[in-house]
Amino acid sequence: MARREKTRDLPIVVIGGGIIGLSVGWQLSRRGVPVVLYERGKTGQAASRVAAGMLAPHSEVGFEEEDFLKLGVAGLEDFPRFLDELETDSDRRVELDDRGTLIVGFHRDDTERIRRLYEFREHLGLPVKWLPGSAGRDIEPLLSPKITASIWLPDDTQVNNLELLDALALAFVNRGGVLKEMTPVESVNIEAGRATGVTTATDEITAAAVVVAAGCWSGGIDGIPGESRAPVRPVKGQIVTLRMDGDYEFGHVVRAPDVYLLPKNDGRLLVGATQEEMGFDITPTAGPVMRLLERGWEAIPSIYDLPLESVDVGLRPGSRDNEPLVGASDVDRLYYATGHHRHGILLAPITAYAMTDVILDGKLPPLFEPFKPTRFMRKKRARD
List residues binding ligand GLY (CB under 6 A): 52, 54, 237, 272-273, 316, 342
Cα–Cα distances (Å) from 101 to 25, 47, 89, 155, 293, in that order, read 31, 23, 31, 8, 19
- Min separation Cβ 54 and ligand GLY, Å: 5
Complex with ligand GLY: residue 136 or 272, whichever CB lies closer: 272
Complex with ligand GLY: residue 28 or 273, whichever CB lies closer: 273
Cβ partners under 8 Å of residue 174, min gap 6: 89, 90
- Min separation Cβ 56 and ligand GLY, Å: 7
CA torsion sign for 242, 243, 247, 249 is positive
- Min separation Cβ 52 and ligand GLY, Å: 5
H helical segments located in 91-198: 108-123, 136-139, 161-174
Complex with ligand GLY: residue 214 or 360, whichever CB lies closer: 214
Identity of the amino acid at 298: E
Complex with ligand GLY: residue 292 or 325, whichever CB lies closer: 292
C-alpha–C-alpha distance, residues 235 and 277, integer Å: 5
Helix, strand, coil shares, percent, the chain, to 5: 35, 25, 35
Could you tell me which of 355, 350, 356 has the C-alpha nearest to residue 74? 350
- Min separation Cβ 272 and ligand GLY, Å: 5
Asked if residue 318 lies in contact with residue 339, where contact means CB atoms within 8 angstroms, the answer is: yes
C-alpha–C-alpha distance, residues 315 and 278, integer Å: 9
- Min separation Cβ 345 and ligand GLY, Å: 7
- Min separation Cβ 24 and ligand GLY, Å: 20
Complex with ligand GLY: residue 10 or 315, whichever CB lies closer: 315
Complex with ligand GLY: residue 150 or 161, whichever CB lies closer: 161
Complex with ligand GLY: residue 37 or 293, whichever CB lies closer: 293
3-state class (DSSP) for residue 139: helix
- Min separation Cβ 119 and ligand GLY, Å: 23
